């Protein structure tokens, strides 16, 4: 299932064209098109969507009534998820590695190839995000209250990840 989840992430976040798919502007594709492109059954897809530890994918019924699916966050291809800005909790967390600290201290958190910087609402989740990478895991605390006061917009994906455009170094602690 992890393997299929990764293929679905590739198709729905990073390289739909590699599967002969085109995402609409909101990032959706028809479920039937994804099943055909990945040569999988609806049961397999439903198992990944339901069983996915992070609820990475959302399925709903499109404007024409057919089932559609998209990744809830993490895209590198241009999509507009239609998220509305919302008030963040006072503190958010970012898990990373010790080797990135020098650069993060100097320039802040950048979104890289993704659309946003990804932040977690709790330390445990941030620790897991940081631990995906080799090396010592570091969890930085983001003063989201101060950022919001200073006009930075925050969004929350359907699966609870906090998103913002960048985090300048002055809002980071623990670095």
By CB under 6 A, residue 56 contacts ligand HQG: yes
Nearest to 25 by CA among 78, 68, 92, 89: 78
* Distance from C-alpha of 80 to C-alpha of 49, rounded to nearest angstrom: 21
By CB under 6 A, residue 70 contacts ligand HQG: no
Q: Which stretch binds ligand HQG (CB under 6 A): 23-31, 57-65, 80-88, 101-109?
A: 101-109
By CB under 6 A, residue 54 contacts ligand HQG: yes
For the bound state, the minimum distance from the C-beta of residue 104 to ligand HQG, rounded and expressed in Å, comes to: 5
| Among 20, 112, 168, 174, interactor with ligand HQG by CB under 6 A | 112
Q: What residues pair up with 97 in beta bridges, in sequence order?
A: 137
Give 170's contacts (C-beta < 8 A, 6+ positions apart): none
Give 130's contacts (C-beta < 8 A, 6+ positions apart): 94, 95, 96, 97, 137, 138, 139
Token pair belonging to 82? 């239609």
Nearer to ligand HQG, 47 or 52 (CB): 52
By CB under 6 A, residue 74 contacts ligand HQG: yes
> 60 φ, ψ to 5°?
-150, -170
| Among 41, 86, 103, 136, interactor with ligand HQG by CB under 6 A | 103
Nearer to ligand HQG, 34 or 161 (CB): 161
- Which residues would be at the binding site for ligand HQG (CB under 6 A)? 54, 56, 74, 96, 100, 103-104, 107, 109-110, 112, 114, 118, 129, 133, 161
């Amino acid at each position: 299932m992890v393997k299929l989840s990764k293929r679905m992430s590739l198709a729905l976040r990073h390289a739909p064209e590699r599967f002969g798919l085109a995402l609409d502007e909101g990032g959706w594709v028809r479920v039937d098109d994804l099943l055909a492109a990945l040569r999988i059954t609806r049961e397999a897809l439903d198992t990944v969507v339901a069983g996915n530890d992070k609820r990475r994918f959302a399925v709903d019924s499109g404007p024409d009534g057919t089932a559609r699916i998209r990744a809830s966050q993490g895209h590198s291809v241009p999509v507009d998820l239609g998220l509305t800005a919302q008030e963040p909790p006072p503190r958010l967390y970012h898990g990373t590695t010790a080797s990135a600290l020098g650069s993060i201290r100097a320039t802040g958190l950048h979104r890289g190839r993704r659309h946003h910087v990804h932040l977690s609402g709790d330390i445990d989740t941030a620790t897991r995000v940081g631990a995906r990478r080799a090396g010592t895991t570091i969890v930085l605390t983001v003063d989201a209250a101060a950022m919001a006061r200073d006009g930075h917009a925050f969004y929350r994906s359907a699966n609870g990840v906090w998103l913002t455009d960048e985090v300048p170094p002055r809002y980071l602690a623990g670095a």
